[in-house]
């Protein structure tokens, strides 16, 4: 790799890294989780109440778990299972996305 | 199109398919959902350097089509196709300039693959907030692009040397 290219990618790395650090420092716990399907809001939940909820979409289901102010998807019938493998989320702005079902779970 | 080239293309497509299968089994800790190593990009890179744009494009499209049918399903196929298309356009464009090294092209390919995927994901779920993942994917794209680029670079030298 040439020196110029190295510098170029290093600058991108530093910028992205700075953004990530900024993001981790400024994150605050969220109180409300909003679920939207295909771009329209479907339901909102309060994070203080522990519960399970089944999000039913035309393509399939995702089971949402709220526990100790964190949100996870415990089960889904989508082919890639990316939403299930994802770690639990608890801070404002964090997302869990199920692309096959067009579900976006967002903390507000 | 001689028989040697046909054999190479078949081999590269098979290796690409195998790599995308292997990649699905490697569980990297999920910093960003759905992240992958992009190992299959090595074959596209090799095809780009050993042959021409057209061949590399065919291998890339064939891989995504077949792995979509065999492993992933339609939804993931759409995202891989978007990512692969953008990354191919960027890589072939940069290769034509003739000023970039193999590793740099691989990194650019990795980054543009991520951008293409996020873009399509945003359109599908109609939520612009997915771009929140962008800085994380940038870092990962550079890291994985560097690894695949280094492997591709060595392989290209090796094949050219022994041909």
How much is the pLDDT for B14? Answer: 93
**Cβ-defined contact of A87 to B142 (cutoff 8 Å):** no
**pLDDT of A55 strictly over 70:** yes
User: pLDDT digit string (tens) for A28-41?
Assistant: 888 888 888 887 88
**Cβ-defined contact of A19 to B135 (cutoff 8 Å):** yes
CA A14 to chain B, closest CA, distance in angstroms equals 9
Neighbouring CB atoms inside 10 A of B79's CB total: 24
User: pLDDT digit string (tens) for A5-19?
Assistant: 888 889 988 998 898
Beta strands A70-76 and A60-67 are antiparallel
Lowest mean pLDDT among A16-20, B20-24, B74-78, B106-110: B74-78
CATH topology for the B3-161 domain = Arp2/3 complex 21 kDa subunit ARPC3 (1.10.1760)
- Report the distance separating Cα A100 and Cα A95, nearest Å: 15
Could you report the predicted ipTM of this complex, rounded to two decimals?
A: 0.72
Handedness of CA B98, B101, B102, B107 (dihedral sign): negative
How much is the pLDDT for A86? Answer: 81
**Are the beta carbons of A75 and A5 closer than 8 angstroms?**
no
**Which two three-digit tokens encode residue A64?**
């949402």
How much is the pLDDT for B27? Answer: 62
Of B34, B107, B126, the CB nearest to A9: B107
CATH topology for the A31-107 domain = mini-chromosome maintenance (MCM) complex, domain 2 (2.60.320)
Region A42-64: mean pLDDT is 86
Of B104, B111, B125, the CB nearest to A97: B125
Q: Report chain B's C-alpha Rg in angstroms.
A: 15
Region B113-128: mean pLDDT is 84
| pLDDT bucket at B149, cuts 50 / 70 / 90 | very high
- Using a pLDDT cut of 90, give the percent of chain A over it: 2
What letter would DSSP give residue A88? P
**Residue B24, burial from CB neighbour count under 10 angstroms (0-12, 13-18, 19+):** middle
User: pLDDT digit string (tens) for A63-107?
Assistant: 988 888 888 888 888 877 788 888 888 888 888 888 888 888 888
Cβ-based neighbours of B150, under 8 Å, separated by 6 or more: B103
- Report the distance separating Cα B118 and Cα B133, nearest Å: 8
Higher pLDDT, B76 or B106: B106
Tell me if chain B has a CB within 8 Å of the CB of A78. yes
The residue extents of the domains of chain B are 3-161
How much is the pLDDT for A68? Answer: 86
């Amino acid at each position: 790799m040439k020196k110029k290219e190295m510098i170029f990618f290093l600058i991108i790395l530093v910028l992205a890294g700075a953004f990530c650090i900024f993001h981790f420092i400024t994150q605050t716990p969220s109180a409300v989780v909003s679920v939207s399907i295909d771009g329209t809001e479907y339901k909102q939940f309060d994070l203080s109440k522990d519960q399970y909820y089944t999000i039913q979409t035309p393509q399939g289901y995702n089971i949402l778990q709220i526990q100790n102010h964190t949100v996870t998807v415990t089960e889904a019938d989508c082919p890639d299972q990316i939403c299930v493998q994802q770690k639990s989320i608890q801070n404002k702005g964090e997302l869990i996305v199920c692309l096959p079902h067009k579900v976006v779970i967002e903390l507000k | 199109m001689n028989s040697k080239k046909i054999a190479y293309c078949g081999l590269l497509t098979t290796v690409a398919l195998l790599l995308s299968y292997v990649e699905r089994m490697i569980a990297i800790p999920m910093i960003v959902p759905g992240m992958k190593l992009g190992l299959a990009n090595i074959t596209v890179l090799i095809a780009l350097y050993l042959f021409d744009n057209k061949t590399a494009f065919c291998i890339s499209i064939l891989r995504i089509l077949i792995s979509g049918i065999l492993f992933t399903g339609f939804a993931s196929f759409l995202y891989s196709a978007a990512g692969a298309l953008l990354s191919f356009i960027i890589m072939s464009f940069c290769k034509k300039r003739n000023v970039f090294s193999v590793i740099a092209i691989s990194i650019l390919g990795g980054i543009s693959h991520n951008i293409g995927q996020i873009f399509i994901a945003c359109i599908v779920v109609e939520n612009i907030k997915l771009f929140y993942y962008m800085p994380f994917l940038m870092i990962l794209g550079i890291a994985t692009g560097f690894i695949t680029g280094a492997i591709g670079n060595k392989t290209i030298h090796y094949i050219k040397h022994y041909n």
